[in-house]
Amino acid sequence: MINEYFEIANYYDNLLTSGYFDYDFLSKTLHNLLGARRKVLDIGVGTGLLTEKMLSLANYNIVGVDFSPRMLEIAKKRLAISDVRLICQDIIKFETEEKFEAIVSTGGVICIVEEDGEYRIFSHITNPEKNKQLLAKLHSHLDEGGLLALGIQRPHTKYKKEIKDKIFYEQKIKKEGNYLDKWYVFSQANGEILSEQFCRFYFFDGLHTAKVLTDAGFQQGYQIIDDKFVVSYKE
């Protein structure tokens, strides 16, 4: 199962642009990493915030896939004047004959969480075998020499803060084994809840990250770029 963010789509942009991600730095880092590569698959494209920034840097040919219709409604409005193709589909079921020079995921499907010096694969897909199958599928969608860039996030912790116009965001966390449960709660100053969402994530032990990527067909080892992306290449 993939978390859909159906309930909180209308507030999610406010969270992400309040300092949750630095899209200017992310996009510039990714742009430098991609070099001459222009054909990109963005999995978990969400509301299109990163894609919008990437298009301001170069004439990228981007295909964005996301499981949430509401997120994509926002992305379509944001990217209306571009040629980005947006596809609403479960990435596990996504099939295409196209090949891409790069595949990017900053957290909408799968990412990396750095904790205690370990880089752990962290996924909305809660079945470990399906995660391995997904990585193998992504490998098959890459051109020779193509790359997979997984965004690096800090450990998920409990906190609450104001994000915009007296709208507060609170996240609650519970860890159990290789699973992390997360509650996203948006509320007013008086405590009235505006929207909330529960999501469950799966993470691999950090020592297994390189092996999971290699087993999926990627080159031995991975690179860490500006502490923002873990990068693996197709042989």
Quickly state the pLDDT bin for 1 (edges 50, 70, 90).
Answer: very low
Q: Is residue 4 in some structural domain?
A: no
> Is 2 among the domain residues?
no
> What is the spatial distance between Cα 49 and Cα 51, in angstroms, rounded to a whole number?
6
Q: Are residues 163 and 53 in the same domain?
A: no
Question: 95 and 187 share a domain?
Answer: no
Query: Does the structure show a pLDDT above 80 at 156?
Result: yes
Domain-embedded: residue 1: no
Question: Between residues 207 and 222, which one has the greater pLDDT?
Answer: 222
Domain for residue 219, yes or no? yes
Judge if 70 and 91 occupy the same domain: yes
| pTM of the shown model | 0.93
Residue 3 pLDDT > 70:
no
55-108: pLDDT as tens digits: 999 999 999 999 999 999 999 999 999 999 999 999 999 999 999 999 999 999
d(CA 76, CA 187): 26
What local confidence, expressed as pLDDT, does residue 151 receive? 97
Average pLDDT over residues 12-16: 81
Number of other residues whose CB lies within 10 A of the CB of residue 96: 12
- Predicted local distance difference test score (pLDDT) of residue 17: 79
Where residue 13 falls among pLDDT bands split at 50, 70, 90? Answer: confident
- The answer to whether residue 88 is domain-embedded is yes
How many domains does one find in the chain? 2
* pLDDT at position 235 over 90: no
In the prediction, which pLDDT does 122 show?
97
Q: Is residue 33 part of a domain?
A: yes
Residue 235 in tokens? 């042989």
Strands 159-164 and 167-176 turn out to be antiparallel
Cβ 223 vs Cβ 230: under 8 Å: yes
pLDDT digits (tens, 9 = 90+) for 105-142: 999 999 999 998 999 999 999 999 999 999 999 999 99
Alpha-carbon gap, residue 27 to 93, rounded angstroms: 27
With cut-offs at 50, 70 and 90, classify the pLDDT of residue 18.
confident
Q: What is the pLDDT of residue 6?
A: 52
Is the domain of 90 the same as that of 179?
no
Same domain, 56 and 148: yes
7 pLDDT band, cuts 50/70/90, is low
- Residues 135, 69, single domain; the answer is yes
Please name the residues in contact with 193: beta carbons below 8 A apart, sequence gap of 6 or more: 185, 186, 187
Same domain, 109 and 171: no
- The DSSP call for residue 175 is E
Residues 180 and 111 occupy one common structural domain = no
Query: Same structural domain for residues 130 and 190?
Result: no
- Are residues 86 and 183 both part of a single domain? no
Q: Do residues 65 and 167 both lie within one domain? A: no
Provide the residue range defining the domain that includes 183.
159-197
Residue 72, domain member (yes or no): yes
CATH of the domain at 96: 3.40.50.150
pLDDT digits (tens, 9 = 90+) for 166-221: 999 999 999 999 999 999 999 999 999 998 989 999 999 988 999 999 999 999 99
Confidence (pLDDT) at 138? 98
Token readout for 54 is 């990437």
- Is residue 3 a part of any domain in this protein? no
pLDDT above 80 for 10: no
Are 94 and 183 part of one and the same domain? no
